Structure 1
Amino acid sequence: MHKHRDCYRLHQLLMYTSSPHSEEIIDAATSAKTVNRDISSPRIRYIMSHQESLLCNDTRETNNSTTSPKLIPYPNWAAHDTSNGKPLIVSPFRIRADKCNRLWVLDNGKIGNLENNTTKYPPALLVFDLETDTILRNYVLPEEQVKEDSGFANIAVEDTDCDDTFAYAGDLGKPGIVVYSWKKNDSWRIMHHYFHPDPLACDFSVKGHNFSWTDAIFGMALSAPNADNYSTLYFHPMASYNEFSVSTEYLRNQSVADANFNAFKLLGNRGPNAQSSVSFLDPKTGILFYSLVNLNAVACWRTTNKEYLMKNQGRIYMDDMKMIYPTDIKVDYDDNLWILSNRMPIWMYGKLDSNEVNFRVFTAPVLNAISHTACDVTPRSDILDKFVNKFKNVTNKIVAKLVFTYIKDILEKQVQVEAKAVKCKSAYEVHRSIIQDVLNRFFLKEIREKVQ
């Protein structure tokens, strides 16, 4: 079992909340079980001390408390200490735990990258052993693969073979993917125009803050391997409405990628105002999860669908208060979906209200999260049962009315006969008393109630 199953980034302080939640997606604090999660926090501003920009392991027994958990530095305080120059971990943006019990840390190497005097170290890939918490690799990206405006913010790890693992680091500043081979301990840079931002999709609006971002390739999600042990990488720029894909067969070799430009495919469009940052693919169900940052939502698409259309995409969670800026998505090895929201645009362009919950972690079993959406993969027997029961109810009412009408006709004829014989009663009174007596005496009480 993995000690660290899910990885998230955070800009300041993580706070759990036990506020009301939806039917399927719940706040992590409402789940009464031990939480073991890794959280990374980039050093975006100088005002953040090394205590606020560390990679943490949060372990506690949840008890529906709204108190923020204590964050423990990973692997230790020394790895984040800047007092003696460059620390081991400078500014981790996103991290990934693989099936080989390794933690991959994408360190973009920048301190204060929202300031004018940004401190820059070479970006690096750090790989830790999660059993011993010791570092296995510290691979600094070669200078020729890092451009002046480079900003490495997301990583996908293809861990089909633990000895031949590949990591894909997306460059949102200077569009490209740096591919790293564990076996070769080498990397190369792939470029394609699908990695670039769409100039018509650069306008964003989050909680009243309007801004323009030109972020290139951001969302990256890997499918389960095919028969040849190659995965499909689903990707998109953040400033884009489109989704793209390419087989990792063309990424594992730079010359092959350059020679197969058309291997990169346009899948389709998410629709207006549907820019997305992060994404993650659940290999068991084949469901692609992705954020919708302008809509304060997380959506999904079933990769077995032949078409990437709006009608084939589902919204699994949407909330204009709790899901402001969903910034990371993961599925763990126990088939649970995890989502982090952190209100980053409010923090960047306004001010966070300390009286509000600004950072939330949501979780739900994957099958519950996609239930009754366009991504549902479970046979909907409950829907069929509901339809059958509704049909039975309608049928019973029709039958009841027919039976009631039939008996009523018979009785009306009988009334005509009885009315002639009973001179002291009106025909109406005889009619009513006979019908009431028959209906109460025999089996039609239930039917009469349904008709009424």
Structure 2
Amino acid sequence: MKRFFVRLAFITNFIIVNAQSNVEVISKIYPPNPDPSGIAVSSKDRVFLGFPRHADNHKEFALAELVNGKLIPFPNKDFVYPSTKPYQDWLVSPHGIYMDKNDVLWVLDDGKRSGIKEIPLGAAKVVGIDIHSKKILHSIVIPKTVLSDDSHYNDLRVDLSHGEKGTIYIANSGFGEYYSLVVLDVATGKAREVLLNHNSTSPELGFMGFLEGKPLVYDFNKQTFPSGGADGIALSPDQKKLYWTAITGRKLYSISTDLISNFNTSEQTIEKAVQLEGERPACDGLAEDEKGNIYFGAFEQQSIVKRKPDGEYQLISHDKENYVWPDGLAYRNGYVYVTLGQWNRLPGFNNGKDLRKPPYLVVKIKSE
């Protein structure tokens, strides 16, 4: 039997949704605030959230810090609200966000706004922000040699062990039938797209999944749930191995970062080096910890699941009522943080009806 508890704290209150799974709701987001997607957490447990515009071209902030239960535009209002400035000077539609070991917040802007086909040059980019000074350290535009209106730059990881200032890996889940990984060199801005429409980055044909108890079959021309190619992405603790998943699929893949970070490695060599790591839950985002565990937001089971380095899987938390489309995941200091965006309830998947039920929850789950 599920029990609900309310505890009042000096600054804010929080709810343990399920005492057995040790889940804490750290934010309840109501309109007109937008629906969150990406999440990142600093070494001191500061929480940052991204609010993309590709599904809902909202006019609110695109990036915020959660401070004492309130959403504060970050790093400043000018940078995160819609603007007439050049696209590279503001966040158009940030999707995946990632915190590195130096507390630099890396923001992946997919540049896509609902109702607008084009992704203008400068809109799709990766921005690195020092969270202490709020200074923008890096702004790396995805160049025309790689940029495609059919791309969906979904999530990212930053590898500080390769390249002079690091290497960025981006999962492109595709707005059209166009799926890949993108590699960016931080120091030079050089970009490369690899594994374009490769089986490891593409949806699995014939995929059938359960969404809130309903069986749904993947059909690109008649989409009834969020779908696409390469989406979740993660790094091993030593940054020697890159993992990724397709949102429409059940397989986990990996590759050596020594290979994929090297711009001289041929496409053929990269394709041959892709490793199948086995089956995993159908999921959206991933998170990883310092022990090599990988966390999945299992949208069919409405659960958070951990994969140990030996390949064993463990249920971390389950909530049939509240875990509606676990989206962004982040790990920090023994906890997994999750945004619950209810994306499968968007009008585009439900005959024009918006079935989302605010508030949109952000939860914190003990990982052991």
Residue 216 to residue 243, structure 1, CA distance change in 2 (3 Å): same
Residue 35 to residue 262, structure 1, CA distance change in 2 (3 Å): closer
Task: Write the distance in 1 (CA, Å) between the matches of 2:13 and 2:360.
Answer: 7
**Higher RCO by CA contacts (8 Å cutoff, separation 6 or greater):** 2
Q: Aligned AA for 2:203?
A: P
Q: Bigger shift: 207-216 or 318-327?
A: 207-216
Residue 41 to residue 207, structure 1, CA distance change in 2 (3 Å): farther
Q: Which residue number in structure 1 is paired with residue 156 of structure 2?
A: 155
Q: Which residue number in structure 2 is paired with residue 171 of structure 1?
A: 172
* 2:156 is aligned with 1:184: no
Q: Aligned AA for 2:341?
A: N
Task: Write the distance in 2 (CA, Å) between the matches of 1:46 and 1:196.
Answer: 25
Q: Aligned AA for 1:101?
A: D
* 2:198 is aligned with 1:201: no
Task: Write the distance in 2 (CA, Å) between the matches of 1:292 and 1:118.
Answer: 30
Q: Bigger shift: 155-164 or 315-324?
A: 155-164
* 2:10 is aligned with 1:27: no
Task: State the identity %.
Answer: 18
* 2:282 is aligned with 1:275: yes
Gaps of 5+ in 1: 1-14, 61-68, 369-452
Residue 71 to residue 29, structure 1, CA distance change in 2 (3 Å): closer
* Residue pair 1:16, 1:360 contacting (<8 A) in 2 also: no
Q: Which residue number in structure 1 is paired with residue 64 of structure 2?
A: 56
Q: Aligned AA for 1:335?
A: G
Q: Aligned AA for 1:296?
A: Q
* Residue pair 1:25, 1:362 contacting (<8 A) in 2 also: no
Q: Among residues 231, 250, 270, which one is paired with 2:240 in the alignment?
A: 231
Task: Write the distance in 2 (CA, Å) between the matches of 1:267 and 1:42.
Answer: 30
* Cα shift readout 1:118-165 (whole Å, capped 9, x = no counterpart): 453231111112221111121111112122311101111113479531
Task: Write the distance in 2 (CA, Å) between the matches of 1:110 and 1:297.
Answer: 29
Larger proportion of strand: 2
Report the TM-score when normalising by structure 2: 0.79
Gaps of 5+ in 2: 1-11, 28-43, 217-223
Task: Write the distance in 1 (CA, Å) between the matches of 2:215 and 2:24.
Answer: 25
* 2:290 is aligned with 1:290: no
**Structure 2 matches for 1:372-383, cutoff 5 A?**
none
Q: Among residues 103, 108, 111, which one is paired with 1:101 in the alignment?
A: 103
* Residue pair 1:327, 1:341 contacting (<8 A) in 2 also: yes
Task: Write the distance in 2 (CA, Å) between the matches of 1:71 and 1:187.
Answer: 33
Task: Write the distance in 2 (CA, Å) between the matches of 1:90 and 1:145.
Answer: 18
Residue 263 to residue 299, structure 1, CA distance change in 2 (3 Å): same
Residue 299 to residue 44, structure 1, CA distance change in 2 (3 Å): same
Residue 19 to residue 163, structure 1, CA distance change in 2 (3 Å): same
* Residue pair 2:118, 2:149 contacting (<8 A) in 1 also: no
Larger proportion of helix: 1
Q: Among residues 22, 36, 49, which one is paired with 2:46 in the alignment?
A: 36
Q: Aligned AA for 1:159?
A: L
Deviation at 1:91, TM superposition (A): 0.5
* Residue pair 2:226, 2:343 contacting (<8 A) in 1 also: no
Deviation at 1:321, TM superposition (A): 0.6
**Structure 2 matches for 1:275-424, cutoff 5 A?**
275-283=282-290, 285-303=291-309, 305=310, 308=311, 312-332=312-332, 334-348=333-347, 349=350, 350-352=353-355, 358-366=359-367, 368=368
Deviation at 1:101, TM superposition (A): 2.6
Residue 135 to residue 151, structure 1, CA distance change in 2 (3 Å): same
Task: Write the distance in 2 (CA, Å) between the matches of 1:293 and 1:257.
Answer: 35
* Residue pair 1:90, 1:109 contacting (<8 A) in 2 also: yes
**Structure 2 matches for 1:68-79, cutoff 5 A?**
69-79=69-79
Residue 162 to residue 343, structure 1, CA distance change in 2 (3 Å): same
**Structure 2 matches for 1:210-229, cutoff 5 A?**
210=216, 211-225=224-238
Report the TM-score when normalising by structure 1: 0.65
Q: Bigger shift: 34-43 or 238-247?
A: 34-43
Deviation at 1:28, TM superposition (A): 3.5
**Over aligned residues, Cα RMSD in angstroms?**
2.6
- SS of residue matched to 1:193: coil
Residue 81 to residue 119, structure 1, CA distance change in 2 (3 Å): farther
- SS of residue matched to 1:38: strand
* Residue pair 2:26, 2:364 contacting (<8 A) in 1 also: no
Residue 257 to residue 119, structure 1, CA distance change in 2 (3 Å): closer
* Cα shift readout 1:424-451 (whole Å, capped 9, x = no counterpart): xxxxxxxxxxxxxxxxxxxxxxxxxxxx
State which structure, 1 or 2, has the greater radius of gyration over its C-alpha atoms. Answer: 1
Deviation at 1:74, TM superposition (A): 0.9
- SS of residue matched to 2:237: coil
